[in-house]
Amino acid sequence: MALAHVLGFPRIGAHRELKFAQESFWKGASDEAALRATGATLRARHWQAQADAGLDFVTVGDFAWYDQVLGTLALLGAIPSRFGFDPKQLSLADYFILARGSKQHFAMEMTKWFDTNYHYLVPEWTADVQFNGGVDWLHDEIAEARALGHKVKVALVGPLTLLYQGKIKSGLGHKLDLLPKVVAGYQQLLQRLHAAGIESVQIDEPILALELDAAWRNAFAPVYAQLNAQLSGSAPALLLTTYFGEVSEHAELLRSLPVAGVHLDLVRGADQLEQIVAGWPQDKVLSLGVVDGRNLWRTDLDQVLTKLKPLQAQLGDRLWVASSCSLLHVPVDLANESKLDEELKSWLAFATQKLAEIVALKLALNGKAAEVEAQFVASRAAQASRRSSSRIHNPLVQKRLAAVTAADAERSAGFDARIAKQQAKWQLPAFPTTTIGSFPQTAEIRQARAAYKRGEIGHLDYLDKMREEIRIVVEKQEQLGLDVLVHGEPERNDMVEYFGEQLWGYAFTANGWVQSYGSRCVKPPVIYGDVYRPEAMTVGWSQFAQTLTAKPMKGMLTGPVTMLQWSFVRDDQPRETTALQIALALRDEVCDLEKANIGMIQIDEPAFREGLPLKSRDWPHYLDWAVRAFKISAAGVGDETQIHTHMCYSEFNDILPWIAAMDADVITIETSRSDMELLDGFGEFAYPNDIGPGVYDIHSPRVPQVDEMERLLRKARGVIPDARLWVNPDCGLKTRGWPETYEALENMVLAAKRLRQTVEQERKAA
């Protein structure tokens, strides 16, 4: 009999209960007990949903108070020693300091989890890091689940993925130097799980979907042999999970690893099945991820069943039906969507619905097709209705896309000619200061928007409130002495959702929250049809903001790649086609802004790096269309119009030439959490256009001091010519409060002024 399971369930709660409990704890408005109680309630609810759906285990270990990688470090005792915490006595408050920083401590670095919009905390590898055991939280959660009567499978981030995803901070030549300690730590952990009677452990090794070099590849067999030897044939059985891509190059390794089973992502890597299944050992489970954990289209159950049936003959009980990856990346429950129309709703499945899909497949395989016939009928109807629906195809859009030429992607002059005209026009000081776009989204702003959405205040009142906010933001920027201003984006709930709401071909949810990092969530819009801009989206706001100041006011848009990457994307046409449709819509907006005398326009592409395929052999194709999409959105303007872009939260060094190929006049880019590591890349590749490497981390409430920022700027001057260097934070300020924002920007402007003085002195001395 086939079994059914998921690799993980979203922890934030259908109504973001965890977010509100975390934030209340951070504010000091509630205590640790209250936060813990909310966590326990959510876990209990999510396990119950899994049990009620008919899964064979509930997954324990997917919960995290902030992030699952940080949680793994806390569990193993491998927290960075620079914080001075005792790993075995770590309190929740300490754990949050690791994640968010404090007056004394920089936060741990945060970066994207593979190619998702989820951010994890980057382990800090030093020679003295320990793996001798840490907090008991996982063990407590297991006890909780059992007390509720559930059959438990424990999920862990695997040792090699954990090591790989960290960064060497000091004292190590190679991350794998830590292997003996790490393995000992996992052995200890597995023993304890065994002692507690755990029979099944899912051990996530998604790095197998990357192109690993020999050192990493070769580490798998000995590591798993050691973990297995320790268990000496006794429980828990290890299920090694791979996801986010195909792993067929490791087919031989996976067949021979001493683990009880292996999980494959058949959504991302449909083609790998044949190669891996051939000669699959008689004693190994094969868990097949057939329900998409990264998107929310309803599964074509017939199609999947057809694929699974022949395998059942081969695998029997050893066939497990699963989600492709953890369901962390999709919203919790479609039942909470009252605003989506019934047709669209019938096309979708959120995490809760996906549980039912997995179980329907399992039951159909196990000879109980009659019990789940209704599910199959509904799935069939959804596929048919999606294929034939008239709301998906827009001939206007398709015709325009077909007519795009290479020239549409090129500015009329090269950078040198453009920047000369732009400088003559704007007369900015050396090291111009600016911000990334958003200013604090205060409770007042959000409440006003919530009241507007509920119909308690009218459209004009809402506009008035937002305009008032813009007035305040402009006034503060003038006081601060910033050189290039922004309107602050108060009217935007989220930079992607806001545009999605105004474009055709997009649907948006009322409650489709997905965790992005810590307590922060997004509601990714759903792209279901051809994308079309019926009217201007931002022009009124930018125009209004420009009337308030004589300084340049940057227009503010989200770029095509990010609009795509942070949405749930249609799966019935290539991603690049959708990206180019969005690019054309944005191009019209950019041209409209220019016509309205907005002379600087920022087109944010924070997800540009995130969209990069995990395997480098797929890079050229992606980079080609992604760069083209950006350029098409930007290239409709004249030479004097200054195009900015912004990127954050990724490692950029390996794609610098393509970032340069986007040919934005100015890029502001996140660098401060990694102490300007970006600049290392400039050794090989000198970025040609203007650049503002972020001088402070906006994701931490800590206020940076003038000296720190001045130091970073001096570092930047080492590789960026003075004439090309801008001064700005790492990213937008929407998540910050006003007092810390104001103070930080005051310090930043001061740092820029000091730099100008230095240059002046250098010039005099010369």
- Residue 126 in contact with residue 110, Cβ under 8 Å? no
Exposed/middle/buried for residue 763 (C-beta within 10 Å: 0-12, 13-18, 19+): exposed
User: From the list 731, 749, 750, 755, which residue makes contact with ligand MET (rule: CB under 6 A)?
Assistant: 731
Q: What is the DSSP string of 340-370?
A: S-HHHHHTB--HHHHHHHHHHHHHHHTT-GG
Element (H, E) at 265: strand 261-265
Q: What is the 3-state secondary structure (H, E, C) of 543-573?
A: HHHHHCCCCCEEEEEECHHHHHHCCECCCCC
| Residue whose CB is nearest to ligand MET in the complex, by number | 732
Q: In angstroms, what is the minimal distance from the CB of 170 to ligand MET?
A: 30
Q: What is the DSSP string of 424-449?
A: HHH-PPSS-BB--SB----HHHHHHH
Q: In angstroms, what is the minimal distance from the CB of 654 to ligand 39S?
A: 19
Contact flags string 479-508 toward ligand MET, x per CB under 6 A? ----------------x-------------
Q: Assess 734 for contact with ligand MET (CB under 6 A).
A: yes
Among this protein's residues, is 699 annotated catalytic? Answer: yes
Element (H, E) at 69: helix 68-76
Contact flags string 527-566 toward ligand 39S, x per CB under 6 A? ---------------------------------------x
Q: Assess 495 for contact with ligand 39S (CB under 6 A).
A: yes
CA-based radius of gyration for the chain: 26
Cβ closest to ligand 39S, residue 422 vs residue 515: 515
Selection from Zn ion, ligand 39S, ligand MET, none that 566 binds (CB < 5 to 8 A by kind) is: ligand 39S
User: From the list 328, 521, 598, 659, which residue makes contact with ligand 39S (rule: CB under 6 A)?
Assistant: 521
Q: How far apart are CA 98 and CA 104, in angstroms?
A: 11
**Site stretch for ligand 39S (CB under 6 A), options 194-202, 444-452, 538-546, 651-659:** 444-452
Q: Assess 100 for contact with ligand 39S (CB under 6 A).
A: no
- What residues make contact with Zn ion under the rule CB under 5 A? 606, 648, 731
329 assigned to a ligand binding site: no
Selection from ligand MET, Zn ion, ligand 39S, none that 449 binds (CB < 5 to 8 A by kind) is: ligand 39S
Cβ closest to ligand 39S, residue 15 vs residue 88: 15
Q: Assess 491 for contact with ligand 39S (CB under 6 A).
A: no
436 assigned to a ligand binding site: yes
437 assigned to a ligand binding site: yes
- Residue 96 in contact with residue 517, Cβ under 8 Å? no
Selection from ligand MET, ligand 39S, Zn ion, none that 116 binds (CB < 5 to 8 A by kind) is: none
User: From the list 356, 526, 593, 648, which residue makes contact with ligand MET (rule: CB under 6 A)?
Assistant: 648
Q: How far apart are CA 403 and CA 686, in angstroms?
A: 35
User: From the list 437, 512, 599, 681, which residue makes contact with ligand MET (rule: CB under 6 A)?
Assistant: 437
**Which tokens sit at 752?**
């820029």
Q: Assess 280 for contact with ligand 39S (CB under 6 A).
A: no
Q: Tally Cβ neighbours within 10 Å of residue 360.
A: 29
C-alpha to C-alpha distances, 480 to 362, 629, 698, 744, nearest whole angstrom: 62, 36, 17, 10
454 assigned to a ligand binding site: no
Q: Assess 357 for contact with ligand MET (CB under 6 A).
A: no
Binders of ligand 39S in range 448-477 (CB under 6 A) = 449-450
520 assigned to a ligand binding site: yes
User: From the list 581, 735, 741, 747, which residue makes contact with ligand 39S (rule: CB under 6 A)?
Assistant: 735
Q: How far apart are CA 692 and CA 573, in angstroms?
A: 36
- Residue 752 in contact with residue 713, Cβ under 8 Å? yes
Helix (H, G, I), strand (E, B) or coil at 661: helix
Q: Assess 117 for contact with ligand 39S (CB under 6 A).
A: yes
Helix (H, G, I), strand (E, B) or coil at 698: coil
Burial per residue of 217-239, b for 16 or more beta-carbon CB atoms within 10 angstroms, e otherwise = bebbeebbebbbebbeeeebbbb
Q: Assess 444 for contact with ligand 39S (CB under 6 A).
A: no
Selection from ligand 39S, ligand MET, Zn ion, none that 556 binds (CB < 5 to 8 A by kind) is: ligand MET
Residues annotated as part of the active site: 699
Which parts are annotated binding residues for L-homocysteine? Answer: 436-438, 489, 604
| Binding site residues, ligand 39S, CB under 6 A | 117, 441, 443, 446-447, 449-450, 493-497, 516-517, 520-523, 566, 606, 649, 734-735
